[in-house]
Amino acid sequence: MHPPTRRMKPITGFLFWALATLQPRVAALTIAEINGDRFLSPYEGQVVTNVAGLVLAKGPNGIWLRSTSPDDDLATSEAVYVYGNAILSSNVTVGDIIALDAKVTEYRASPNYQFLTELTAPVNVRVLSSGNAVVPLVIDEDTPSPPTGEYSSLDGDDVFALPNNATSVSVANPLLNPKKYGLDFWEP
């Protein structure tokens, strides 16, 4: 006979940070460094501190944050999703430049989907400035054009091979080549 199962409450607030102190901490990384040049973040599972960026939008579960000092590497993304009610209950609004501490997490809603690198359980959220312009980037004007010839380095020249097994992207975690592969272009 199995013991009864108990539902555990999610770790939040002080308890999260008490446990997080046992994890590696990385200070003042850029958003591009957090995302890295592969599908999965090289900092997954680590707590990052003093991450700064411009609030692009707010959603029902978090915000989108874009770097204010982008790098020149097309393989690294300059934006990241910040997940958590704490960020929504703070005084953060679209157009604010903020800094925060959070945990780097790879999330997917289904085992059949690719992972999304995000920052979770944000704390120590500080508004550095407000009222900054949020200017959208227009693809093919402000960014390079998406490739139209090849979809992925993992599909063996068969564009239909990879979508049926997106989990292979996470296993292989190849170096991104957004100039050549469409899937890599949309990853960052």
Q: For the segment 81-92, what is each residue's pLDDT rounded down to a tens digit? A: 999 988 888 889
Residue 185, domain member (yes or no): no
Distance CA 67, CA 65 (A): 7
State which H helix or E strand residue 54 sits in.
strand 47-58
> What is the number of residues in the chain?
188
Q: What is the pTM of this model?
A: 0.82
Residue 6 has pLDDT above 60, yes or no: no
Q: What is the pLDDT of residues 71-83, one digit of tens each?
A: 989 999 999 999 9
Name residues whose C-beta falls within 8 Å of residue 177's C-beta, 6 or more positions apart in sequence.
75, 153, 184
Residue 47, domain member (yes or no): yes
Longest Cα pair distance anywhere in the chain, in angstroms?
Answer: 64
Residue 91, domain member (yes or no): yes
Unique residue bearing structure tokens 């994890």: 23
Residue 142, domain member (yes or no): no
| CATH number, residue 52 | 2.40.50.140
Q: Is 14 helix (H, G, I), strand (E, B) or coil?
A: helix
